[in-house]
Each structure stands twice: as C-alpha cells, then as structure tokens.
Amino acid sequence: MTIREVQDEIMRLKKENDICILAHSYQAHEILEVADFTGDSYALSKLAATVPNKTVLMCGVRFMAETVKMLSPEKKVILSSPIAGCPMAEQMDKELIEAVKLKYPDYTVVAYINTTAELKTVCDVCVTSSSAVKIVKAIENNNILFIPDCNLGAYVASQVPEKNIKLLQGGCPIHAAVTKREAEAAKAAYPNAELLVHPECVPPVVALADFVGSTTAIMNYAKNSDKKEFIIGTENSIAEHLQYECPDKKFYLLSQALMCRNMKSTTLIDVLNCVKGDGGDEIFLDDETITQARKCIDKMIEMGG
C-alpha cells in the first residue's frame, strides 16, 4: 500500500467507527494529515472535552491520552502507541510530592500537564507551556511550587518575578540536552535566522532566543513573521511541518538530537491498526483518580481562557 492508500483507509475507517483523531504537533507529517485536530498540549486538552465522537484516538504520549480520558470519561480513549510515555511525566510520583507539600504547606502546587494522572491528584492546578505564565500570574497565592520541569519553571519565574516560585529538579531530557554552545553555533551559522525555542530548554538557551513559546506558538510566530529564516529550538518535526506550510521560508534545526523517541514511536500503520480496532492501548483510570486529577485540569481550563 502507498502512504496515500493507508491514509485513505484511515479516513474511511475513522468515519465508519466514529473515531476522532487528535494529534500533537510533534507527530509525523503523514499522521497530522489524517487527524481531525492538531496542536499543542493546551489546545488538545481543551478539545478533549468537546469532541462528539464515541472514541478518541490520541496520537501523542500517555499523559495526553490520560487527559482526554479524565475530561471525557464516558469515551473510549486509545493511545496510538503503547510505548509512548513521556520520561518527564515519570520523574516525580505522588509520594514524593506529598512529602514536599508537608515542607511547604502554604504553597500552591502547579503541575506541568506532562505528569501522570496519579500525580495530578495531589496538585492544585495544571499548566501547559502555552498557559503557564498566564495562569501563574493569576494565582492569588504568592507562593508557588512548580513541578516537574525546572526549566519551564525558571522561564515562568522570569516572566512573573512578583511570585515566590520554588522549583524541583526535573525536566524534558530532550529539550534540556541542548547546550548554550549549540545555540551560539547555530546563530553564528545562520546569522539572518531568528532563534525560536521551547521553554523546556535550559535558561542559557532560552536567554539567546528571539522568541520563546509552545509548539503552536512557535509555529504561529514563524508563519506570521516577515522574517525568512528560523532556527527551530524544539522537537525537529516542527521544522519539517513549518517547511511544508511555508515553502518560501527556511527552517534550520537547533540540534539534531532534538528528537523525541516517544512522540515518534507512533507510525501511520499504528494509526491504521487503531482505527481498525486492533492496536494502541486503551486508557483506563479509576473513578477516584479521574475525580481528583481532573480538578487541576478543569482549573487550568477555567484560568487559561
């Protein structure tokens, strides 16, 4: 079968089986083409509560599928690849955060959405990279415990200096591996290009950026800019998608190593198998976890607008 034939079959089967396909922007281009909705974590979690279909297929990583399940517990939710976890989401567990909360009882616990459903049960509000600054600014309490990404947390702290933000040592191993030296080398190699980076990168890399934002924010910035060249400081698929959308512009990789194996573990054939009802991993969460964990997601949607 050709790629086009596989895609046509996916389109036919998702209609026949009443399946909505959500795909994070880090997915491969041929998967985005068969999705009903694509976007960053925030856009996808907002959509999760509103799609009318009986089944939702999440092409992304496990915490994203768990978010869909929490917001639409009556739906069948499938994660496109059973092995697609997010290493950052596994870095801190509920017991650790419960112990930290005992030390900081008057702090509001802000959890990046890249956390497990179980961990969310002990947090106050979720944020994504696109909503974090706005939400932290709006929290009444001045004392914030931000978990698990200390790089996103440091970026938020730089944008909201009036808050007392405590960070723990965690983060995305892919984004955090990019060095200041690589960023300087890329800027020297492409002097006419703007550097656009995800706030999961370390502060010295963020400090060199012309623009900092979520995956969707980076894409929108590049699409709407009058500039013609950009160095993309997030997962490398974003540079590829942008190159399709803006053939008159040039997109360079900040680092060859900016490749998330988990996001990339889903193939088009996995998507085909899922819409056939023969693949992926169905998400099951108990009622107690859903009730407790979704409070901080609901709060994020309420505060994030």
Q: How far is the CB of 27 from ligand SF4 (least distance, A)?
A: 11
Write out the binding residues for ligand 13P, residues 112-141 only, by CB under 6 A.
Answer: 114, 128-130
Give CA–CA dist 183/293, Å, rounded: 37
Tokens of 241: 């998608």
Residues in the chain: 305
Select from 136, 125, 139 the least CA-distant residue to 300.
Answer: 125
**CA distance to 93, 98, 176, 199, per residue, from 234 (Å):** 26, 32, 10, 9
Closest distance of CB 9 from ligand 13P, Å: 28
Judged by beta carbon, residue 218 or residue 272, the one nearer ligand 13P is: 218
CB of 150 to ligand SF4, least distance (A): 13
Q: Binders of ligand 13P among 209-248, rule CB under 6 A?
A: 214-215
Query: Which residue number, 7 or 213, has a Cβ lying nearer to ligand 13P?
Result: 213
Site for ligand 13P in 152-181 (CB under 6 A): 172
Strands (E), 148-183: 164-167
Per the structure block, which two tokens stand in for 133?
A: 């600054």
In this structure, which amino acid lies at residue 30? E
Q: How far is the CB of 45 from ligand 13P (least distance, A)?
A: 9
Nearer to ligand SF4, 174 or 202 (CB): 174
Residue 87 interacting entry, from ligand 13P, ligand SF4, none, C-beta within 5 to 8 Å by type? ligand SF4
Half-sphere exposure of 207 (CA within 13 A, CB side): 9
Beta bridge partners of 23: 38, 59
Among the listed residues 96, 98, 110, 118, the one whose alpha carbon sits nearest the alpha carbon of residue 292: 118
Which residues bind to ligand SF4, rule: CB under 6 A?
Answer: 61, 86-88, 114, 172, 174-175, 235, 260, 262-263
Would you say 110 and 144 are in contact if contact means Cβ atoms under 8 Å apart?
Answer: yes
Euclidean distance between the first and final Cα of the chain, in Å? 43
- Candidate list 200, 208, 219, 239; residue touching ligand 13P; CB under 6 A: 200
Q: At its nearest, how many Å lie between ligand 13P and the CB of residue 217?
A: 8
- Binder among 7, 32, 40, 237 for ligand 13P (CB under 6 A): 40
Binding footprint of ligand 13P on the chain (CB under 6 A): 40-41, 114, 128-130, 172, 200, 214-215
